[in-house]
Structure 1
Amino acid sequence: MTTTTTAAHAVPIALAGTRERPITRVFRAIGVQNISLIAAIIALAAAIGSQNSAFFLASNIKTIGMAVTISGLLALVQTVVIIMGGIDLSVGSVAGLASVTSAMIFMNAGSIASVLGALAIGAVCGVISGCVVVFGRVTPMIATLAGLIAFKGVAQLVSNGRAQGYTGADPFYVFLARGTVLGMPTLILVLIIVAIFIHVMLSYTKVGRNIYAVGGNDTAARLSGININRYILGVFALAGTIAALAGILITARTGSGQPISGSEGLEFQSITAAALGGVALRGGKGSIGGTILAVILLGILLNGMSLLGVNPFWQNLAQGTLLVSAVIIQQVRNGERRVGLPK
């Protein structure tokens, strides 16, 4: 009888001993990667603020938020592409083409037509890249590298390499560039809405689960009945559409369509942010929260370098260093063999 009582109470006692503390559950929910990014953001902000107190002004914080909107949009959709097991090097060129297109259409048909036209062209560019991957059996890196060059060439051809149109007096474009909603800048609000949409898609829908499955193991995904080709086309179409949205915001901020200026190098910023945010470059793993934190970290870094009078050319070096560091950290965590080391 005594033995039975002891055994009956043994399980609850053992469970009580292994019950997680609330703070442990919070840390596990946030994730080690995100906690590291938050710590890095705090440390970097403190370091910059100690050198220039203007960093903590509300106006400067707002400037950082508005400055990261365009690169943030591309980083969000780059995250989806990489989770699926691909990469999109053409998003910057698509943004430039959409910027030119939106301004040129605006001059003839108004703001709404210009937005819809630019988004349509972005989707078409994405579908073209997807078709090259699916039907041409070309790797996403090569297919979108070709797109980077080709779409930039189209933007230069239709614009003769010059800025096009003027949207600075149009109420809609002015609202996009400098408007607010309940005190929040429209640019930041657009980024938040897109981030929520993609997060919900990836985390709470069948489409999102299948995207992770394709990136994790495309063979297993195919055998389970997932139409991989359809997902490739759909994700690249989404990438082109969001890149076009970024191009529309470039037009709004500059007041004209920019074939290259404003979009140059955005593809590499998006990849850096995604990798820094913990997205596995081999696919199948990543989160929108980590990408957003990485975008904020990059925004603070670039803003701080400007405030401290650092030569702008160092910005590219800093981003390249962060990208390499992020990849090395991923490999170490996953136990992957680095090139050049013995087995």
Structure 2
Amino acid sequence: MSTAVATATPTARPTSRRRRRIGSTEIVYLALVGILVVAGVLVAMGGGNLFSTANTAYMLTQTSLLGFVAIGQTFVILCRSLDLSVGYVVALCSIVGATTMAGDPSRVWLGVVAALAAAAGIGLVNGLVVTKLRVNAFIATLGVGLIVKGYLDTQFKGPAGDVPSSFQMFGYTRVGPVPISTIVMLVVAAVGIVLLTRTRQGYHMFAVGGNVDVARLSGIRADRTVIIAHVLCSTCAGIAGLLIAARFGTGNALVYSYGLDLDSIAAVVLGGTLLLGGRGSVAGTVGGVLILAVLDTVFNVLDVDPFFKDVLRGVVIIAAVALYARRQIDPASSRARFRSNRRRDPVRSGARPDPTTTDGGASA
């Protein structure tokens, strides 16, 4: 009598390298390069040059103003909040800075401090109303913004204050085709990137935006994090107000009609930051601002109708958000993971085990 023991033959698992998915920030800058190429060709076909010194300077000038506001907006959106008062803060800070400077070069620093302090104060009020009074951020910041608007409309019927020529350099001086304001905006963006990726406060913003209850259970002071985000947002809007004052030479109370509030939200979303919070980056926001600036420059060079320009911008924003949403919930990748799990567990998949491949099987 002979006994044969069947031994299991090892099944070779297919080795497949898992490729790293391209992140939202990479997609933004790839889209920016593609838009630049297509826009350059369209302008060249019309006999122009998109990358001339004048067009490049205009493009970067548009980037700096919206960039300051959008960088600040990124902080509050990451915390699953929102700020609709930034346009009014920009207008108020331009007035505060210009009236405090009063044309005196020795008062420039005082005007800068006063404008930023006013902006930070409004951000503090926004954060306290949202966190302590539990008012929805949309309503809270809109209400605060309307209060500021009422003050501006009743107290300032036109330009106010006088900005010294030494500070006007902030709005007009260029290093080659690059404005000084753009360089300052990039420095602020770099500080924001370091804040979000290298500091505990930045990690808290991501945590609060991802799940505020889990963040609280982890010992994070969620209310304080949201308040700090609103203060930073309004402070960045205050820098934009100082830029407006430097360009105009006076404060301008009508700046709130520029639509910087909605444009900043569009730039943040276009840069890959989720409106539900918890995911995004300042670098992506800068890319979104650049895309909007390129589109505005191309529309101006090609003399596109202003109403149709808004339609095209809306289409671009909707397409970008749809792309991000599809990447975040990808049914194909979910099915692939499900199939791989079923292959690893034959019992769960309903497959019968092969007796010839199980240890301990004997035949007489």
TM-score, normalising length from structure 2?
A: 0.80
Q: Given that residues 251 and 257 in structure 1 are in contact (C-alpha distance below 8 angstroms), is that contact kept between their aligned partners in structure 2?
A: yes
Q: CA RMSD in A?
A: 2.6
Q: Given that residues 173 and 180 in structure 2 are in contact (C-alpha distance below 8 angstroms), is that contact kept between their aligned partners in structure 1?
A: yes
Alignment correspondent of 1:257 = 251
Equivalent-residue separation in structure 2 for 1:56 and 1:296 (angstroms): 14
Alignment correspondent of 1:151 = 148
Q: Does 1:43 align with 2:38?
A: yes
Correspondence for 1:123 among 120, 126, 147 = 120
Query: Larger deviation: 88-97 or 48-57?
Result: 48-57
Deviation of 1:58 after TM superposition, in Å, equals 2.2
Query: Larger deviation: 29-38 or 85-94?
Result: 29-38
Bigger helix share: 1
Q: Does 1:220 align with 2:217?
A: no
Q: Secondary structure at the match of 1:74?
A: helix
Equivalent-residue separation in structure 1 for 2:267 and 2:145 (angstroms): 19
Q: Does 1:92 align with 2:87?
A: yes
Deviation of 1:130 after TM superposition, in Å, equals 0.7
Are residues 99 and 314 of structure 1, via their aligned partners in 2, closer, same or farther at CA, if it must alter by over 3 Å? farther
Q: Does 1:162 align with 2:174?
A: no
Deviation of 1:172 after TM superposition, in Å, equals 2.7
Equivalent-residue separation in structure 2 for 1:234 and 1:335 (angstroms): 31
Q: Given that residues 134 and 232 in structure 1 are in contact (C-alpha distance below 8 angstroms), is that contact kept between their aligned partners in structure 2?
A: yes
Match runs of 1:294-313 below 5 Å: 294-313=288-307
Equivalent-residue separation in structure 2 for 1:48 and 1:190 (angstroms): 29
Q: Given that residues 63 and 289 in structure 2 are in contact (C-alpha distance below 8 angstroms), is that contact kept between their aligned partners in structure 1?
A: yes
Q: Secondary structure at the match of 1:220?
A: helix
Correspondence for 2:274 among 258, 268, 280 = 280
Deviation of 1:88 after TM superposition, in Å, equals 0.8
Equivalent-residue separation in structure 2 for 1:186 and 1:172 (angstroms): 13
Deviation of 1:289 after TM superposition, in Å, equals 1.8
Q: Secondary structure at the match of 2:102?
A: helix
Deviation of 1:19 after TM superposition, in Å, equals 8.6
| Structure 2 residues without counterparts, runs of 5 or longer | 1-9, 331-364
Alignment correspondent of 1:75 = 70
Deviation of 1:28 after TM superposition, in Å, equals 6.1
Equivalent-residue separation in structure 2 for 1:33 and 1:183 (angstroms): 23
Q: Deviations over 1:97-123 (max 9, x none)?
A: 111111111117622111110000000
| Structure 1 residues without counterparts, runs of 5 or longer | 1-6, 337-343
Equivalent-residue separation in structure 2 for 1:148 and 1:281 (angstroms): 20
Are residues 158 and 330 of structure 1, via their aligned partners in 2, closer, same or farther at CA, if it must alter by over 3 Å? same
Equivalent-residue separation in structure 2 for 1:184 and 1:116 (angstroms): 26
Give the letter for the 1:51 counterpart.
Answer: G
Correspondence for 1:187 among 181, 186, 210 = 181
Q: Deviations over 1:139-170 (max 9, x none)?
A: 111111112212222222332x2111232xx2
> How many equivalent residue pairs?
318
Are residues 232 and 52 of structure 1, via their aligned partners in 2, closer, same or farther at CA, if it must alter by over 3 Å? farther
Equivalent-residue separation in structure 1 for 2:251 and 2:309 (angstroms): 25
Alignment correspondent of 1:240 = 234
Are residues 147 and 330 of structure 1, via their aligned partners in 2, closer, same or farther at CA, if it must alter by over 3 Å? farther
Deviation of 1:326 after TM superposition, in Å, equals 3.3
